[in-house]
Amino acid sequence: MSTAYITTPIYYVNDKPHIGHAYTTTLCDVWARAMRWERKDVFFLTGTDEHGVKVEKSAAARGISPQQLADENSAEFRRVLGQFGLTNDYFIRTTDADHKRQVQTIVKRLLDKGYVYLGKFEGWYDEGQEEYHTETKAKELDYKSPISGKPLVRASEENYYFKLSAFQKQLEDFFAKNPNFVRPEGRRNEVIGRLRGGLQDVPVTRTNFSWGIPMPDAPGHVIYVWIDALLNYATALGRADGTAGPRAKYWPADYHVIGKEILWFHAVIWPAMLMALEWELPKCVYAHSFWISEGQKMSKSLGNFIDLPTIEAYHAKYSLDAWRWYMVTQGPLEATDADFSAKHFHEIYTADLVNTFANCASRTSAMIGKYFDGKLPAPTDEWVTEADGRQYRQVLDGLIDAIEAYEAFKLREAALAGLGIVRWVDLVINEYQPFKMAKDPEQMEAVGNILHDCAQALCWAATALHPIMPTKCEELLRCFGVTLQDTREFLTEELGIEPDVIPAGTKIEKCALFMRMEGPGVPAGA
Taking CB under 6 A as the criterion, the residue among 4, 6, 10, 236 binding ligand ME8 is 10
CA 79 to chain CA centroid, nearest Å: 18
* Beta carbon nearer to ligand ME8, 7 or 159: 7
Taking CB under 6 A as the criterion, the residue among 4, 6, 20, 160 binding ligand ME8 is 20
Number of C-beta neighbours around residue 37 at 10 A: 20
The residues, ordered by sequence, that sit 6+ positions from 270 with a Cβ below 8 Å of its Cβ are 230, 233, 256, 282, 285
Asked if residue 292 lies in contact with residue 337, where contact means CB atoms within 8 angstroms, the answer is yes
- The nearest distance, CB 458 to ligand ME8, in angstroms, is 33
Question: Residues binding ligand ME8: what is the number (CB under 6 A)?
Answer: 20
**Residue 318 dihedral angles phi and psi, to the nearest 5°:** -105, -15
Tell whether omega for the bond before 214 is within 30 degrees of 0, i.e. cis: no
Is 523 buried (19+), middle (13-18) or exposed (0-12) by CB count in 10 A?
A: exposed
Taking CB under 6 A as the criterion, the residue among 5, 12, 161, 181 binding ligand ME8 is 12
Q: Which positions from 446 through 465 interact with ligand ME8, judged by CB under 6 A?
A: none
Of 105-113, 120-128, 253-261, 489-497, the segment contacting ligand ME8 by CB under 6 A is 253-261
Does 160 interact with ligand ME8 (rule: CB under 6 A)?
Answer: no
- The nearest distance, CB 409 to ligand ME8, in angstroms, is 14
Q: What is the DSSP string of 318-362?
A: H-HHHHHHHHHHHS--SSS-EEE-HHHHHHHIIIIIIIIIIHHHH
How large is the greatest C-alpha to C-alpha distance in the chain, in angstroms? 90
- Among residues 333, 408, 309, the alpha carbon closest in space to that of 18 is found at 309
Taking CB under 6 A as the criterion, the residue among 123, 203, 212, 259 binding ligand ME8 is 259
Q: Which positions from 279 through 308 interact with ligand ME8, judged by CB under 6 A?
A: 290-291, 298
Does 84 interact with ligand ME8 (rule: CB under 6 A)?
Answer: no
* Beta carbon nearer to ligand ME8, 12 or 406: 12
Of 13-21, 110-118, 406-414, 485-493, the segment contacting ligand ME8 by CB under 6 A is 13-21
Q: Which positions from 44 through 73 interact with ligand ME8, judged by CB under 6 A?
A: 49
Q: Which residue is nearest to ligand ME8 (CB)?
A: 20
Q: How far apart are CA 257 and CA 44, in angstroms?
A: 11
- The nearest distance, CB 261 to ligand ME8, in angstroms, is 6
Site string for ligand ME8, 217-246 (x = CB under 6 A): ------------xx-x--------------
- Among residues 426, 425, 422, 412, the alpha carbon closest in space to that of 325 is found at 412
SS3 46: strand
The site for ligand ME8 (CB under 6 A) is made up of: 9-12, 15, 20-21, 23-24, 49, 229-230, 232, 258-259, 261-262, 290-291, 298
